[in-house]
Chains A and B, each alone.
Chain A
Amino acid sequence: EPEVTQTPSHQVTQMGQEVILRCVPISNHLYFYWYRQILGQKVEFLVSFYNNEISEKSEIFDDQFSVERPDGSNFTLKIRSTKLEDSAMYFCAILQGAGEQYFGPGTRLTVT
């Protein structure tokens, strides 16, 4: 099972601030996903990213969100101006094999 790490494990930020969440797969992967899970709710697809381009995004992934792979290994999710409702767990996942996804441990984002 491939290993994926995410940093930070917990981020507290004030409303309106920018946050950057990081995902680092241990080995090279080309296909990444970002998800969010508001406490007690379902896992929601945000965006998929293939070969340094967004391949698909959901309606949640509006102009406040962006993704990039700045150095060929780290994979980041940026929220430009956080809102209270952005408080959630954010998971990244890598795609492998016949479509299985392996998730990182998540970043808990708290917007105050």
Chain B
Amino acid sequence: RKEVEQDPGPFNVPEGATVAFNCTYSNSASQSFFWYRQDCRKEPKLLMSVYSSGNEDGRFTAQLNRASQYISLLIRDSKLSDSATYLCVVRGGRFGAGTRLTVKP
């Protein structure tokens, strides 16, 4: 089993839609979880950390489910500018393969 697995995507959604990504991890001892976004041919940029109690930053909500070993990212009211690849990261640099999101007008 891969250490970090993500929904393969791609996700193509209209503007204003709500979209959710999941990411599962295999190492139950993992303590740190993050979501990054990566634009084409650019470096990954931190979107948000994922806290045990769940956390929200504007239109973005991150959740952690330790029992089932997955994290999720919810994007509400999608904007065209949200189009990117979303990467989950677990424990010191283990990246998922990424989920590509395209928001269309």
Contacts and interface: CB of A to CB of B under 8 A. Distances in A.
B95 interface: yes
Contacts of A56: 92
Interface size bucket, A side? 20 to 34
Nearest to B92: A48
Contacts of A89: 41
B34 A42 contact: no
Classify the secondary structure of B's interface with A.
Answer: loop
Contact of B49 (A1, A48, A98): A98
B71 to A, nearest CB: 14
A100 B34 contact: yes
B97 interface: yes
Contacts of B94: 45
A106 interface: yes
SS of A interface (majority): strand
B43 interface: yes
B59 to A, nearest CB: 20
A106 B40 CA distance: 13
A98 B32 contact: yes
Given A43-B87, A45-B93, A100 B43 contact: no
A75 interface: no
Given A101-B34, A101-B89, 9 more contacts: A42-B96, A43-B44, A45-B94, A45-B95, A91-B43, A91-B44, A93-B93, A99-B92, A106-B42
Interface of A: 1, 33, 35, 41-45, 48, 56, 89, 91, 93, 98-106
